[in-house]
Amino acid sequence: MQDTIANGKLVIISGPSGVGKSTICKRLVEQLDAFVSISVTTRARAAAEENGRDYWFIGPDEFKKRLENNELLEWAEVFGNFYGTPKKPIEEALGQGRVVILEIDVQGARQVKRIFRDALTIFILPPRKEDLLKRMADRDRGEDAQNQRRRLETAAREIADAWQRYDHLVVNDRLEVAVQEIIELIQDSKKETV
Ligand code: 5GP
């Protein structure tokens, strides 16, 4: 186990698909000069996504290789695809004293917390269940109905789990309000660990 390197702060952002995590992370980059980790994934790239910006899209063999070489801080299988957090960029950014954001699922959050005890964990909630359903339907990734249903079932399980495990739950009703709330949580948490 280790505490966060130097004065950097590791922040884990989780939440159901379509809750607005990526937009929140973009704002944190702009307002806190935070470093956002780019995960590797074996999932197919959606039309609107870019390799190296949204994810590093790699094949299952490459994923296995990185896992075996101990290059991933954590990893998980989500909806039949593998996702993982490259270790080196995170260690470097923490070493520079930066706020480092990981947008990962609850399985990954659990693994990271075991390594970095003082990582701040934040779970984003939709204001209403209907909003989540609509946002999930609006993101056209060419998914079939069965996959969309699985995402919804996973969301329900994760929300229940988050009540117990996460440091904070933040409702993303108005984006600016949610972002401000998260910034305050990060700043408070940095004060605690100094
Ligand atoms: P999506 O396919 O919608 O981009 O992501 C599906 C889920 O995988 C989301 O809950 C997202 O937070 C999670 N995820 C993305 N990258 C990683 C990662 O590197 N590790 C883990 N554990 N989960 C990830």
Tokens coding 84: 């993982």
Residues counted in the chain: 194
Residues of the chain with pLDDT under 50: 1
Segment 130-164, tens digit of pLDDT: 777 777 777 656 667 787 788 788 888 888 989 89
First to last CA, the chain: 18
Strand 120-125 to 56-57 pairing: unpaired
CA angle 172, 107, 98 (to 5 degrees): 65
Element (H, E) at 193: helix 175-193
Nearest-CA residue for ligand 1 atom 22 is 108
Nearest-CA residue for ligand 1 atom 9 is 105
pLDDT score of 1 = 46
Separation of 9 CA from ligand 1 center, angstroms?
20
C-alpha–C-alpha distance, residues 164 and 148, integer Å: 25
Residue type at position 46: A
Separation of 174 CA from ligand 1 center, angstroms?
23
Pocket of ligand 1 (CB under 6 A): 14, 17, 39, 43, 74, 76, 78, 83-85, 103-105, 107-108
Nearest to 43 by CA among 144, 141, 159, 137: 141
Separation of 83 CA from ligand 1 center, angstroms?
6
C-alpha–C-alpha distance, residues 92 and 109, integer Å: 20
pLDDT score of 149 = 81
- The reported pTM is 0.90
C-alpha–C-alpha distance, residues 120 and 172, integer Å: 18
